[in-house]
Structure 1
Amino acid sequence: MTTVLAPVAGAAVGLRAVPDPVFSEGLVGPGAAIEPAREPGEAVSPITGKIVKLHPHAFVVVGDDGRGVLVHLGIDTVQLKGEGFRLLVSEGDQVSAGQPVVVWNPLEIEAGGRSPVCPVVALDAVEGSVTTLAQGAVRAGDELFLWA
């Protein structure tokens, strides 16, 4: 069982609420999303593991068990080419669950006409393996879902 933490503070919502079919239809995998608090903050690692992919707007952490979790900060934020994001770690770094990874500001994302919603996806997870989804208000580092 893997406990996946909320990478940002805000309101936990289902992936269906994400305005991008790649996430809302579960094409990347099951998980949850967070409608972030509209204030500058840090995105933290959802699990303990190694940063295997790191972009300013998204990162993947893989645990010792081989399970990977994708955190995507906003929708279409790749178009920002890193503007408005500050990396706190490097690709290949070992991180602890709850450790800050990226500094960002959801208000800036929204001001640019993009959704700041944050999908958190259990990569390559089988259907039905993600359970106990958080509902409502969460803080960064709170339990978001369980991956059986």
Structure 2
Amino acid sequence: MTVSVLAPLPGRVFALADVPDPVFAQQMVGSGVALEPARDQGHLTVVAPIAGKILKLHPHAFVIFGEKATGVLVHIGIDTVKLEGKGFTLIASEGDIVAAGDPVVSFDPAFIDTTGYSAICPVVVMDSKPDTVESPSVGEEVKTGDILFDWSA
């Protein structure tokens, strides 16, 4: 079974190796890609990349557990946990059942830029083997809801 993982926000797609955090760059959490958020739209609404249950929800990150035991992590920025929720607004709640494209959290990437942290957003299939996600859109701009990559569960 193949699961289409949608872009949870608009931006430019990067390889995880380009993320300024060794945990993501070395794919310790799993394989995936990262998005450098668009800055021309102000506050961005981050949406569920797959349908499923919000297993974990923090202002800076969330995990959705979908079909075939596929968990997808969206991490909004690098080291943004240190902001203790400042600059983020939760829209959904932990435990919610969501459809792909449902809003989960909003934030302002320009605010993150002022903190000295990176606003790049890794999108990772949890516990997947390194280099098992291939995205045809690396280097390209995507819109919220575009297919970011397909995952064979």
- Give the TM-score normalised by structure 1: 0.96
3-state SS in 2 of match to 1:30: strand
After TM superposition, give the deviation of residue 133 of structure 1 in Å: 3.7
In structure 1, distance between residues paired with 2:135 and 2:84: 34
Q: Which residue of 1 aligns with 2:146?
A: 142
Q: After the TM superposition, which of the residue ranges 55-64 and 122-131 deviates more from structure 2?
A: 122-131
**Residues 119 and 101 of structure 1: CA distance in aligned 2, closer, same or farther (over 3 Å):** same
Matches within 5 A, 1:60-71: 60-71=63-74
The answer to whether residue 56 in structure 2 is matched with residue 53 in structure 1 is yes
Output the aligned Cα RMSD.
Answer: 1.1
Partner residue of 1:24? 25
Q: 1:123 to 1:133 in 2, by over 3 A?
A: farther
Match of 1:11 in 2: 12
* Structure 1 runs not aligned, ≥5 long: none
Residue among 66, 76, 80 paired with 1:77: 80
Q: Which residue of 1 aligns with 2:133?
A: 130
Matching residue's letter, 1:18: V
1:82-125, Cα deviation, whole Å (9 max, x unpaired): 11101111000001101110010000001111100000000112
Q: TM-score, normalised by structure 2?
A: 0.93
- Letter matched to residue 11 of structure 1: R
Number of corresponding residues: 148
Residues 111-130 of structure 1 mapped to structure 2, 5 A cutoff: 111-130=114-133
